[in-house]
Amino acid sequence: CSSDLGHSLLMKAIILALLLEAAAIELTDENWHAATAGKLVVARFESSCGNLLSDDCLTTVPEAWKSFEESYAGHGSIVVGQVNCRFTGDGICTHFGVERYPSYLYGSPYGMVHFEGQLEDLDKLAKAGLSPPCAPDSLKLCDAAGRKLFADLSKL
């Protein structure tokens, strides 16, 4: 019945909206630099479907990841985000060589590494002294050698 179909689609839309509201920042090819500038990035790379209302798009995100997202929401120096490798973040995924989903990477927005541990250990990793990276858009975080390197590179 079309009424049942309409109700089903409405329920999926509501569920999706709630999931997205609680989710980490969506990092895309378009917002990557602005969202990550001068910050440590921890991201979940996934390959979701194009139709956000289909059942297979409402996949289960591990509780450890949800907890990590919530712990760092609005953090000043750490960005926790998600990248959709199939659509809005395919350039980012290609750049970092992501081929397996989901994948978890962390580090500088210019050079991330794969996190191979247990998701429960992400919080320990972040608290162990990871700090925003020295980068061209955050020179104040660089030591003298780092600032000189970026100054020399900018002259090229």
- pTM exceeding 0.75: no
Chain-centre distance for alpha carbon 29: 11
8 Å CB contact between 130 and 73 = no
pLDDT at 51: 46
pLDDT at 136: 75
pLDDT at 71: 86
* Tens digit of each residue's pLDDT, the chain (156 residues): 555 555 555 554 444 444 444 456 899 999 999 999 888 899 999 987 554 444 455 456 788 888 888 888 888 888 999 999 988 999 999 999 998 888 999 888 888 888 888 888 887 777 765 666 676 766 777 778 878 887 887 787
Chain-centre distance for alpha carbon 121: 17
8 Å CB contact between 39 and 78 = yes
The residue type at 28:
T
pLDDT at 88: 92
pLDDT at 144: 86
pLDDT at 123: 79
